[in-house]
Amino acid sequence: MAERQSPLEPEFHVGSHGNFEHGVEILLTETRPGSIVQLAAWPGEEKKLMEAIRGVTGLALPDGAGGGLSDGVKSVFGFAPGKFTVTDEAEGLAAALAKAVTPAIGTVTDLSHGRTAIRIAGPKAEWVLSKFFAIDFALPAFPVGAGRSTAHHDVFAQIQRTGADQFDIHVFRSFARSFWKALCHASEEVGYEVQ
Amino acid sequence: MLITCPYCGPRDVIEFTYQGDGNRERPEPASQNFEAWNAYVYDRLNPAGDHNEIWQHSGGCRAHLRVMRNTLTHEISSVAFVRGDHASPARGRAEDKP
């Protein structure tokens, strides 16, 4: 496979930035998953699709809107009715899912090159994201593993909570650099580190 | 104004796109009934009160929703998937379940 270049590169400055004299409260990274795949079930086929995802990834999706989970390598979450985003550190997930998801069940769309995954972690992650998105980031309303679809200034974002104070944000690759810059600016006042 | 999407929960109206009056009935595409087409394109109830509307959660799950909105107060009395049962996850929102 060709080596994938990061759209963040010109603005990706490893190190501590902003007001970090009193400690770094935000950690920003690009997770660079090898595979980002979206799956959609035809009406009534949702359960079969969830079963196919379990067969390929070993991840058993919970019932409920926006439900999801992650094992640290592979992640899955619902982002719309009957639609799911699956990521894997390794490449080739779309081909494996295409074998399991027959045309009668639904569709498989490989977005590995179309999305950029940005991870924001730290005690102030909820606080920084609340400046961007008008959704409830509190743990009871947004449990670990769950996904949310929302937008920041018309930049669509799919957010999965992968830890109590950790979120993975999937944005369009073409918007990723400007979104990243905005995220860095928003993190300045609490001090952030890029890794 | 908040619209409670059946999938995503309460979201700001900025995430939604208005798709028009929900009372329109589209004639068959091959129909030559100009009265029916005229009614579909132009006739609106324009009520002062509850109004049956179609909205899309374009900045979220992208589902199309049937919304009952009061045009005087902006109060929203019901929200449902336009496609009905088969578009709704037979599951509903996790945290709403007992």
The dotted CATH code for B2-25+36-89 is: 3.30.2270.10
Q: Is A146 on the interface with B (CB under 8 A)?
A: yes
Domain C-terminal end among A110, A139, A169: A110
Other CB atoms within 10 A of residue B88 CB:
19
Identify whether A70 is part of a domain: yes
State the pLDDT at residue B93.
44
Q: B4-58 pLDDT, tens per residue?
A: 999 999 999 999 999 999 998 889 999 999 999 999 999 998 999 999 999 999 9
pLDDT digits 0-9 by tens, B46-97: 999 999 999 999 999 999 999 999 999 999 999 999 886 544 444 444 444 4
What's the CA gap between A179 and A146, in Å, rounded?
A: 22
pLDDT of the residue at B95: 47
pLDDT of the residue at A1 = 61
Q: Which domain holds residue A187?
A: 24-32+114-194
Amino acid in position A74 = K
Lay out the sheet containing A115-121: strands in order across: A15-17, A192-194, A26-30, A115-121, A166-172, A155-163, A147-152
How close is the nearest chain A Cα to the Cα of B68, in Å? 21
**Residue B97 has what pLDDT?**
41
CB contact under 8 A, A66 and B89: no
Contact of A157 with A171, CB cutoff 8 Å: yes
What is the domain count for chain A?
2
Residues A48 and A63 occupy one common structural domain:
yes
- Distance from the first to the final alpha carbon of chain A: 25
How many angstroms separate the CA atoms of A54 and A65, rounded? 17
Answer yes or no: do A147 and A180 share one domain. yes
Helices (H) and strands (E) in chain B, counts: 1, 6
CB-CB contact of A18 with A188 (8 Å)? yes
Closest Cα to residue B1, out of B82, B88, B96, B67?
A: B67
Average pLDDT of the residues in A88-104: 94
Mean pLDDT over A109-122 rounds to 96
The answer to whether the CB atoms of B87 and A81 lie below 8 A apart is yes
Measure the CA–CA gap between A154 and A173, rounded to whole angstroms. 14
Q: Does A153 touch chain B (CB under 8 A)?
A: no
Q: Nearest residue of B to residue A78 by CA position? A: B61
Residue ranges of domains in chain B: 2-25+36-89
Asked whether residue A13 is domain-assigned, the answer is no
Do A84 and A139 lie in one domain? The reply is: no
d(CA B29, CA B31): 6
| pLDDT reading at A89 higher than 60 | yes
The pLDDT tens digits for A28-57 are: 999 999 999 999 999 889 999 999 999 999
Surface of A (58-87) touching B: CB under 8 A? 62-67, 78-83
Per-position b or e across A149-180, b if 16+ CB within 10 A of its CB: bbbbeebbbbbbbbeebbbbbbbebebbbebb
Q: In chain A, what residues touch B88 (CB-CB under 8 Å)?
A: 81
Query: What's the one-letter identity of residue A175?
Result: F
- Does the structure show a pLDDT above 50 at A104? yes
Of B97, B96, B85, the closest CA to residue B4 belongs to B96
Is A95 in the same domain as A120? no
Pick from A88, A36, A38, A91: which is nearest to A59 by CA? Answer: A88
CA B65 to CA B79: how far, in whole Å?
A: 6
pLDDT at site A4 = 81
Is there a contact between A63 and B94 if contact means CB atoms under 8 Å apart?
Answer: yes
Provide the whole-model pTM.
0.88
**Which of A47, A81, A110 delimits the end of a domain?**
A110
